[in-house]
Amino acid sequence: MDGSDISLRGDRRPSALHDPDELLWRQFGEATSAEAFARTWLALQCRMIPGTTSAVLVLKSGDRFAPAAFWPEGRRTRPHLAEIAERALRERRALVVPVPQPQHDGEATPRLRYDVARPIEADGELVGVVAVDVSPRSERDADATVRQLQWGGAWLEIARLRGDTSRAAVVRDRLQTVLDLVASAFGHERFASAAVAFVTAVSTRLGADRVTLAFVRRGRARTVAVSHSARFSRSSNLVRAIELAMDEAIDQQALVVWPQPLDWRPQVARAHAELARQHALGTVCTAPLVEGGRVLGALTVERPADQPFDAVTLELLEVLAGLAGPILERARRDDRWIGAKLADAARGLLRRIAGPRHLGLKVSLAAAVLVLVFLATATGDFRVSSNAALEPVIRQALTAPFQGYVGEAPARAGDVVKGGQLLARLDDRELRLNRLKWLSQQEQLTRQYHQAMAVRNAAAVGILTAQIDQAKAEVALLDYNLAHTRLTAPFDGIVVAGDLSQSLAAPVERGQVLFEVAPLDAYRVVLQVNEHDIAHVRTAQRGTLVLTGAPAEPLPFVVEKITPVSASREGYNYFRVEARLAQRLERLRPGMEGVGKVEIDRRLLVWIWTRQVVDWVRLQLWKWLP
């Protein structure tokens, strides 16, 4: 610290110019490169440690450690110093290794030479190691050498932290500049205003005479904005020359500068040289706007001859072009009218289709074309689907022949019965008693009739004759009712309604339906066809019924009747369509439900799949159009 301060204060004493320490401190304070800094630091350390014979400083460079300075200069270190330096790096601690020396005459005990190494850390990271070879000395002097290296290592740690801080500050300043320039393009409704604001901000920040922005259109650069100019003529010689220079940079996909620096990479700059010559420009630089390997446009900056482009400015332009290019390109695309956007999207799609890449898109497009061709040519069976149910052709109702009571009921709904089989029997005791009553009354009236005939009482004969006929009629009615107390199945079939097993001795009224019987081999299919599909259904059309109870056994049917009366259910209108089964199953029962499909004809598959949507759209258009 003291030596550095002396050099900075500029000690003018004549002896200072010849003092080696003063000279080293001056070189240490004025070091501008890492090599010079390491070399002078190691020399100072060796001069501060008496008896140093050789030393080496190893610093981290990238991912490996490499020697940065030797002392004395031009002399390679000894192998044993390399070994102790490597060991100190590995163990990350200071090492003092004694090396025995030959004993001279007169010495009571041999003196030891020491190899001393200490690792150097900065912010917890191992950045290097310094190793020195000192002449024979005591163990206490060897420990003092370690402390001196520890104090001297602080200079390297501070220098590294300062270097990192300065580099971070430079990067931060550059990034802030780039972000400020890019931010100047935001906050504008139209792309033209944003582009002019951007190039004007770049011109002001870089001290440029003119900044021009262009985007590629049809393979060539087309100017969109010029700094400090709201309007410009694209046909002017200056704009044409600038666009040619931009094309030159775009073709090479690299930053082009004129005049080219001595250490600049070889490149073509004829258009830039011609631009500078024709329009008396000082220096010209063009940075292409690139996004994902694709050149979007270019940014040309013109500066006076006394302000050439340095490496920092060129790097700033490359970063600015890479960041601002995609942002401005999206703003330009968003500001176009809808027709241009659609055309651009179509051209991009065609390029991806015809280009060498995008295999997935090509396969998808080919599959889509095949699907369209298939839909345009393939036909299928057009069928109208609807809910369906089985109904018996005949439903024979068995009613109570007179008012009475249930005496017996062996059958109920769901039973399969034979013709003549007893279903129920009504209680006939009251009928028989009434019959005996009327029979006895008839005999009594007959005797009275004979007595009136014997005495020739014509009036009495007439009255008694009428009463006898009434008694005979009552007996005949009771005989009829007694003959119908047994309710039997009219034919072979199934009882579809009626259950009197829980109503024994219950009264029944005359004409009350007690049972309904349907045949087992006579069914019809009732389809509930939606009103949207009823126009396609005709009589004599065939179809197929699949019942819920027998999904693996489709039943063919033939349409016989279309009822022109609709019924509303669940918000839709349905028409009743009756059909006749072409075959039957033993397991068929009245009331079984399923899905029936009426075969209409063969039509295009695309029409079959989209007809409902098309019909809905037509209806909505008819509803809303005037």
Cβ within 8 Å of residue 355, ≥6 positions away: none
Average pLDDT over residues 52-56: 83
Measured from the Cβ of residue 549, the count of other Cβ atoms closer than 10 Å reads: 12
Report DSSP letters for 473-539, one per residue: HHHHHHHHHHHTSEEE-SSSEEEEE-B-TT-TT-EE-TT-EEEEEE-SS-EEEEEEEETTTGGG--T
pLDDT given at position 13: 42
- Nearest alpha-carbon partner for 548 in 593, 611, 609: 593
Between CA 473 and CA 321 the distance in angstroms is 122
- The answer to whether residue 509 scores a pLDDT higher than 50 is yes
Predicted local distance difference test score (pLDDT) of residue 61: 76
> Tens digits of per-residue pLDDT, 18-33?
566 677 677 666 666 6
pLDDT, tens digit (0-9, with 9 covering 90-100), for 295-320 = 888 999 998 888 888 887 888 888 88
pLDDT in the model for residue 596: 92
Residue 159 has pLDDT above 80, yes or no: no
E-state strands within 138-232:
210-217, 220-226
pLDDT value, residue 445: 85
Please report the pLDDT score of residue 7 as a whole number: 37
Name the pLDDT band for 566 (thresholds 50, 70, 90).
confident
Average pLDDT of the residues in 211-227: 87
Confidence of residue 172 (pLDDT cuts 50, 70, 90): low
pLDDT attached to residue 161: 57
Lowest mean per-residue pLDDT among 211-220, 577-586, 589-598 = 577-586
pLDDT for the residue numbered 1: 36
Amino acid identity of 449? Answer: Y
pLDDT at 598: 92
Two tokens at 623? 């509803």
Give the model confidence (pLDDT) of 491-505 as tens digits: 777 887 777 777 777
User: Is-contact 185 194, C-beta < 8 A?
Assistant: yes
Task: Please state which of the ranges 184-188, 402-406, 598-602 shows the lowest mean pLDDT.
Answer: 184-188
The strand ranges marked E within 62-124 are 64-71, 95-100, 112-122
**How many CA atoms, within 13 angstroms, populate the side-chain half-sphere of residue 188?**
19
| pLDDT score, position 29 | 61
* pLDDT on residue 431: 79
CA-to-CA separations, 594 to 96, 387, 574, in angstroms, rounded: 98, 6, 16
pLDDT in tens, 432-452: 888 888 888 888 888 888 888
pLDDT exceeds cutoff 50 at 10: no
More confident residue, 184 or 54: 54
Q: Is the pLDDT of residue 411 over 50?
A: yes
Identify which has the larger pLDDT, 519 or 283: 283
Q: What percent of the chain has pLDDT over 90?
A: 4
- The reported pLDDT for the residue numbered 474 is 85
Whether 171 shows a pLDDT value over 50: the answer reads yes
Per DSSP bridges, beta strands 416-417 and 64-71 are unpaired
pLDDT tens sequence across 341-399: 787 777 777 777 777 777 777 788 888 888 888 878 888 888 999 999 888 877 778 77
Instruction: Compute the average pLDDT of residues 545-561.
Output: 88
The larger pLDDT score, comparing residue 266 to residue 575, is at 575
The model's pTM: 0.43
Per-residue pLDDT at 17:
46
Q: Is 374 helix (H, G, I), strand (E, B) or coil?
A: helix
Domains of the chain and any CATH numbers: 31-102+109-168 (3.30.450.40), 184-335 (3.30.450.40), 396-516 (no CATH), 522-624 (2.40.30.170)
- Residue 597's pLDDT is what? 92
Question: Is pLDDT at 45 greater than 60 in this prediction?
Answer: yes
- Give me the mean pLDDT over the 282-303 stretch: 87
pLDDT bin (cut points 50, 70, 90) of residue 595 is: very high
| pLDDT (tens digit per residue) in 447-490 | 888 888 888 888 888 888 888 888 888 888 888 877 777 777 88
The structure tokens listed for 87 are 């060991």
Full DSSP string of 562-596: EEEEEEEETTEEEEEEEEEESS--TT--TT-EEEE
Share the mean pLDDT of the chain.
79
